[in-house]
Amino acid sequence: MLDAFLRRATEDLPVYITEVRDAFQANGNRPFHIHVTLYDNTVRRFALRLPETSTQAEADFVASYIHATIYNILSSLGALRMDLYLSPSDAGLMDLAHSLDEVFQTRLAKSHRSGFGKCLNVNERILTALTGGKVQFAFRILDIAQEPELKKPGKLTESQAVFQQLPAMTKKRMILGMDIGGTDIKLAASIDGRLAICKEYDWFPALYTQAEQLIDPVLLLARLLRAAASLYAAGKAASINKSVFDKGASLDEMALAAETMEQDAGSELRGFDAIGLCFPDVVIQNRIVGGETYKTRGMRNNPDLDYEAEFAKITYLSDYLKEYVTPDGVVMNTNDGPMAAFTAAVEQAAVGADVSRGFFAHTLGTELGTGWVRPDGSIPDIPLEVYNFIIDLGSFTQKQYPCNDVRSINNFNTHLPGTLQKYTSQSGVFRLAAKYLPLKDPSTYQQAFDSGLLQWQENSLLVPIEPVDARKPCLEFFMVKAAEPGNEACKEIFREIGEYLAVTWRETQYILQPEAEERTLFGRLVKNPACFELICEGAARREPALRQYAADASLANTALMQQLDAHPDYTVAQFAQAVGAIYYGCLGLKHKMKQIT
């Protein structure tokens, strides 16, 4: 069993963590039980079984499986602490358990952690937000003979009324939805139940070295939309400067236009009743608390500032946005993944679909976003950084490339190999193109170089980001090629993306145990129906039971989403989450009304 896994790994083939777990659970005889105390003080049990090992390579592989499993748990669920139950007579596993403090760098400061320790940085920031820093994460090693029995968690009360009520709350209100991503920001303003204004702005936050460079464009866009929406609501739509709603408009042009439109609105300039937004980082109780994503890499690498102090400015983005709402208005912030799931739940509930099992969704774009909405409409306060999941314990050749190389499976932020960041997002498409096309479709591969979408810089293969960011055009190029009849090599790229999503499904079902078993997919990778079909074909090769749905026009059930579907310039695949953010803002109004009554 172990020999077969290692052989595949050295042949540069993937060795999925799910198949390793299946084999170990079936054949292992060494218990390694993990009890995870979650933020709400409930305890989740993962009763792992491990095989005997006879070589150092086998022992290292088993250790990599344990490290990956713990890392996936901490990246998605988080923890107050982690108790490890095993036999004290198993010297090898005892050594492995004792080494976890070093592997996860529990005793190091956040600024000194790397690799596996990065997930504890996020966990610490969450613990600070939830407990004021009174709780510190720790591993505890205990005798399995003393392992306690755990109660099964109770089920939530099933309800879909909350989702059904939100669309009507847009009436007689002015609400802004913001979808903040890694390559663009999309905004949608609703006025009295109508989708009045949409705006897209391209940016590259990973290059920003100061918090203000990230915060200021978001605030300016909110200001711009407030001015335009105020004119629209006052019957002065003719005064809206339509040229700055082109996505190529500069910050200076938008600032000047916002000031002019504010003057034109005069006394009729008003704040939004609610702003709903999603941000591509961990968000707990309206606070951005992650700080380990690719989007803030420029700030993390800036030697001239204190990163913790700088990131703390971003933490309070929701508070800064309150300037653009009415005195009794609300700002509601969550991660982009949960926003995708929330959006799907509202749209499905609008046509009477059963949402009693909640929703689980992914966004496939710059990275893999993940969203989970419980049956009662709540979004769990957990990291849910599924894009950091390690799903591949093999592919040994591809992990030798530096993380910025297209061919690498190493995470941009942690440098750990095998994480979903390099498998199911645009980076996965680029990597698979570099892997397959040189031999299977050299003409398409050369065309990518000729078009400037791929280039060599010394010994590294890159998608250029300067002077022009080529990531979107490069992804679009391979999507168009995959949709062409007969282009089998490019089609296989998207089938393999589907296979990775099937592994993701198994891993999320195992760790998170969501009530929902199907997945709704958002983002650029599924906006092309042919690519979505290929993704589903690939997923079915590994998990025939998995049901995936594309967030396309079939999701357009509420009035706002139907208006988006009919829009001549924008699509549901692009702006669905911005519209969903409008409804998320309505949820905040609903909660506030309930508190008042």
According to the model, what pLDDT value does residue 154 have? 63
Please say if the pLDDT value at position 104 is more than 80.
yes
Give the mean pLDDT of 526-553: 92
Q: What is the pLDDT of residues 288-298, one digit of tens each?
A: 998 888 789 89
Confidence of residue 15 (pLDDT cuts 50, 70, 90): very high
Q: Give percent of the chain with pLDDT exceeding 70.
A: 98
According to the model, what pLDDT value does residue 524 have? 87
According to the model, what pLDDT value does residue 260 have? 98
Q: Which has the higher per-residue pLDDT, 334 or 154?
A: 334
CA distance linking residue 110 with residue 120, whole number of Å: 8
Please say if the pLDDT value at position 379 is more than 90.
no
Please say if the pLDDT value at position 173 is more than 90.
yes
Please say if the pLDDT value at position 424 is more than 80.
yes
According to the model, what pLDDT value does residue 159 have? 52
Q: Is 515 exposed, middle or buried (0-12, 13-18, 19+ CB in 10 A)?
A: middle
Length of the chain equals: 597
Give the mean pLDDT of 316-340: 94
Confidence of residue 592 (pLDDT cuts 50, 70, 90): confident
Please say if the pLDDT value at position 552 is more than 70.
no
According to the model, what pLDDT value does residue 377 have? 73
Q: Give percent of the chain with pLDDT exceeding 90.
A: 79
Q: Which of 14-23, 271-280, 342-351 has the lowest mean pLDDT?
A: 342-351
* Residue 181 zone, left/alpha/beta (φ > 0; ψ -120 to 50; rest): beta
Give the mean pLDDT of 564-575: 90
Confidence of residue 132 (pLDDT cuts 50, 70, 90): confident
Could you identify the residue written with the tokens 């006052």?
234
Q: What is the pLDDT of residues 482-511, one digit of tens each?
A: 999 999 999 999 999 999 999 999 999 999
Please say if the pLDDT value at position 157 is more than 60.
no
Please provide residue 563's backbone torsions phi and psi, each rounded to the nearest 5 degrees: -65, -40
According to the model, what pLDDT value does residue 155 have? 60
Confidence of residue 160 (pLDDT cuts 50, 70, 90): low
Count Cβ neighbours within 10 Å for each residue of 264-287 and write b for 16 or more, e otherwise.
Answer: bbeeebbbbbbbbbbbbbbbbebb
Q: What is the pLDDT of residues 191-234, one digit of tens each?
A: 999 999 999 999 999 899 999 999 999 999 999 999 999 999 99
First vs last C-alpha separation in the chain = 62
Please say if the pLDDT value at position 573 is more than 90.
no
Write a three-state SS string for 535-580.
HHHHHHHHCCCCCEEECCHHHCCCHHHHHHHCCCCCCHHHHHHHHH
Count Cβ neighbours within 10 Å for each residue of 52-64 and write b for 16 or more, e otherwise.
Answer: ebeeeebbebbbb
Domains of the chain, each with CATH number or no CATH: 2-146 (no CATH), 161-351+557-596 (3.30.420.40), 386-552 (3.30.420)
pTM of the model: 0.82
Confidence of residue 276 (pLDDT cuts 50, 70, 90): very high
According to the model, what pLDDT value does residue 505 have? 98
Could you identify the residue written with the tokens 């941000």?
279
CA distance linking residue 355 with residue 373, whole number of Å: 10
According to the model, what pLDDT value does residue 597 have? 61
Confidence of residue 358 (pLDDT cuts 50, 70, 90): confident
CA distance linking residue 369 with residue 536, whole number of Å: 18
Confidence of residue 150 (pLDDT cuts 50, 70, 90): confident
Give the mean pLDDT of 106-129: 93
